[in-house]
Amino acid sequence: MKTGSRMTFAVSMLAVVAGVSTVIGDSKAGAKTDAPDKVTAELLAIEAQLADAIVKNDPVAIGRLLDDDWMIIDSDGGSVDKVRFLAVIESGALTHMKMETRDPRVRVYGNSAVVTDRAITTGKYKGDLFTTDERASDFLVKRNGQWKFVFSQLTRVGGAQ
C-alpha cells in the first residue's frame, strides 16, 4: 500500500466508523423497514460512542463496538480488518481532533441496520495533518441484544483530498 493510500485508508476508516449525528435519520420510501425512533436513536448513539472513542484514540473502546469479523473498504478501494485497524490506532500513528457527520440515514432490517452519512474528519497521520470529506456507510448486526459494526465503506466526496 502506498504511503498516501495508507494515510487515506486509516483516516477514512475512522470517518466511516464514527457517525456523530445531531439529526435523527429521515424517513424515505424504499427501505424495507424504517427504523422506529427508539432504534434509530440507539443506533445513532452507538455511532456517537464510536466517534468519541476514535477522537480519544481508545482502541479498547473502539474494539468493543466492532464485531471480530469487521472490515472496512476505504475510499481508495483497499480493505482493512479489525486487527490491523486497531493496531494503527494503538500505535499512535493515527490521531483525530474532530469528527463531524451530516445527513444521517438509518434503516433497520430485523436484526441488521445500515447507517449512512457524510463524514468530515480532521486529524494527523504519522504527524501529517489531514482533512477528509466522505460518504460513509456502516452495517450493524444485533446479536445477543447488542449492536456491533460488521462492515464499513467510504466514498470520497468529489474534489476532496
Q: Which domains does the chain have, with CATH numbers?
A: 3-156 (3.10.450.50)
- Buried b / exposed e along 55-86 (16+ C-beta atoms within 10 A): bebebeebbebbbeebbbbbbeebebebeebb
pLDDT at residue 103 is higher than 80? yes
116 has which bridge partners?
105, 137
Share of the chain above pLDDT 90, in %: 69
**pLDDT per residue over 87-97, tens digit each?**
999 999 999 99
Query: How far is the CA of 92 from the CAs of 57, 76, 105, 133, 155, in angstroms?
Result: 8, 22, 31, 22, 25
**pLDDT per residue over 118-147, tens digit each?**
999 999 999 999 999 999 999 999 999 999
The average confidence (pLDDT) of the chain is 82
For the whole model, what pTM was predicted? 0.77
Share of the chain above pLDDT 70, in %: 76
pLDDT of residue 19: 43
pLDDT of residue 75: 87
How far is the C-alpha of 54 from the C-alpha of 95, rounded, in Å? 8
**pLDDT per residue over 27-63, tens digit each?**
333 344 444 689 999 999 999 999 899 999 999 999 9
pLDDT of residue 36: 65
Contact assessment for residue 147 and residue 67, using Cβ atoms and an 8 Å cutoff: no
DSSP at 25: P
